Amino acid sequence: MPASDATSRFSDRVENYVRYRPAYPPEALKAIKERCGLTSAHVIAEIASGTGIWTRMLLENGNRVLAVEPNAEMRLAGERLLAGFPNFTSIPGTAENTTLPRQSVDFVSAAQAAHWFDRAKARQEFTRILKPKGWLVLLWNERRTDSTKLLREYEQLLLKYGTDYNEVRHERATASVNEFFEPAPYRKLVFDMRQVFDYEALKGRLLSSSYAPGPEHPQHRPMLHELRRIFDAHAVERRVAFEYKTLLYYGRIN
**Which is nearest to 109 in space by CA: 133, 78, 137, 67?**
137
pTM of the predicted structure, to 2 decimals: 0.88
Mean pLDDT of 74-81: 94
- Give the span between the Cα atoms of 48 and 115, in whole angstroms: 11
Q: Which SS3 state, helix, strand or coil, does residue 8 take?
A: helix
Question: Per residue in 111-139, pLDDT tens?
Answer: 999 988 999 999 999 999 999 999 999 99
Q: Are 213 and 163 in contact (CB under 8 A)?
A: yes
Contact 240, 195 (CB under 8 A): no
**3-143+167-194+244-252: CATH topology:** Rossmann fold (3.40.50)
pLDDT digits (tens, 9 = 90+) for 237-250: 999 999 999 999 99
Running DSSP on this structure, what letter comes out for residue 101? Answer: P
What letters, b where the CB count within 10 A reaches 16 and e where it falls short, cover 146-178? eeeebbebbbebbeebbeebeebbbeebbeebe
Confidence bin at 254 (pLDDT 50/70/90): confident
- Starting from the edge strand earliest in sequence, which strands make up the sheet with 187-197, in order? 88-91, 64-68, 43-47, 105-111, 130-143, 240-252, 187-197
The answer to whether 97 and 91 are in contact (CB under 8 A) is: no
The torsion angles phi and psi of 225, rounded to 5 degrees, stand at -60, -45
Q: What mean pLDDT, rounded, does the chain reach?
A: 91
**Helix 220-234 vs helix 149-161: angle between axes, to the nearest 10 degrees?**
180
pLDDT of residue 164: 82
Write the single-letter amino acid at 140. W
Residue 135 CB-half CA count within 13 A: 21
Distance CA 134, CA 104 (A): 10
HSE value, Cβ hemisphere, 13 Å, CA-based, for 75: 18
The confidence score (pLDDT) of residue 12 equals: 53
Q: Is the pLDDT of residue 54 over 70?
A: yes
Backbone CA torsion sign across 45, 50, 55, 57: negative
End-to-end CA separation in angstroms for the chain: 28
Enumerate the domain spans of the chain: 3-143+167-194+244-252
Closest C-alpha to 130, from 233, 253, 37: 253
Tens-place pLDDT, residues 175-200 = 679 899 988 999 999 999 999 999 99
Predicted local distance difference test score (pLDDT) of residue 2: 42
Name the E strands within the chain.
Answer: 43-47, 64-68, 88-91, 105-111, 130-143, 187-197, 240-252
